[in-house]
Structure 1
Amino acid sequence: MDKKIFKKALEEVFRKFGFQYESNAFYHDDGSIITVITLQKSNFSNSFYINFGFLIKEESPDMIYPKEYDSDVFGRFTLELNGECCQSIDLDTVIIDDLLSAVTQFMNINIKPVLEGCLAKYFEINPKAVHTMSLRAKKYFKFNLNSSGNR
């Protein structure tokens, strides 16, 4: 698959979830959380990773277009492709319809609940994600820094 076709197809999926393309990333701003999705090209193959992050606006009011590494919580899409879970999307072997289905499924399960509810939903779905929280986010959510649960 051509890189241009890949990016255009993903843009269509992300737009259906309310994302806009700005500054080389896809953004959704619900007033309290900025969700960012970026594409990362592999240095070793014709593959891409899809990274995402959630930024708490109250904690970073001056940030308009954060990258996933600026976010309070970040992660990488894990997609089921060809019967396997993978984070790397090989453009030489992936079938566009399979890719779009897998990305939509990931969005519905992991990103949409945050867009429709709140960031706490993400931790309900992915409890291990607390390990990707910034210290700023842990303080915001009042996580006990010596354990993995809420106080």
Structure 2
Amino acid sequence: MAFPRFVTYNTLISGYCRQFDMLNAEYLANTMLSSGWDPDVTTYNIQIHGYCRSQRMNRAIMMFDELISTGIVPDTVTYNTLMNGVCHDILDRAMILTGKLLKMAFIPDVVTTNLLLSNLRKQGLPHRTAMWAKKLREIPFEFDEITYKILEKA
């Protein structure tokens, strides 16, 4: 009997997530684990994205916490997926998430930063926009042209 390979599990989980069928995606992820395949950052990213698209941010953040607790290092895709999800829904969670990741010495890329600053600006929070821009300048971070345009509008 042939057993699914790692990439097959991730592909099937992704398919369920695209259909907003998070119950089957989670079931398959658990099956993957019980079959001896440990999820990697890609597996978690797929599920986090699915939960964000399904507007289940609490579950997406729980998946992020699970990823951290297993010792897997989140990547830029993880951060951008969560940031996009929370910025569309809950800006305060985005701020908490950013603070958490900065404490872990994770430096967001310019796309992530622009997402955060743009959403702060759109929410009419110029002081918070300036505060986060200042925080990001304290770490070795270079803004791009888009970042400066966002800050100009704030």
Q: Same fold (TM over 0.5)?
A: no
Q: For the pair shown, which has the larger CA radius of gyration, 1 or 2?
A: 2
- Please state which structure has a larger fraction of its residues in helix: 2
Bin of the TM-score, shorter chain as denominator length: under 0.3
- Please state which structure has a larger fraction of its residues in strand: 1
TM-score (normalizing by structure 2):
0.26
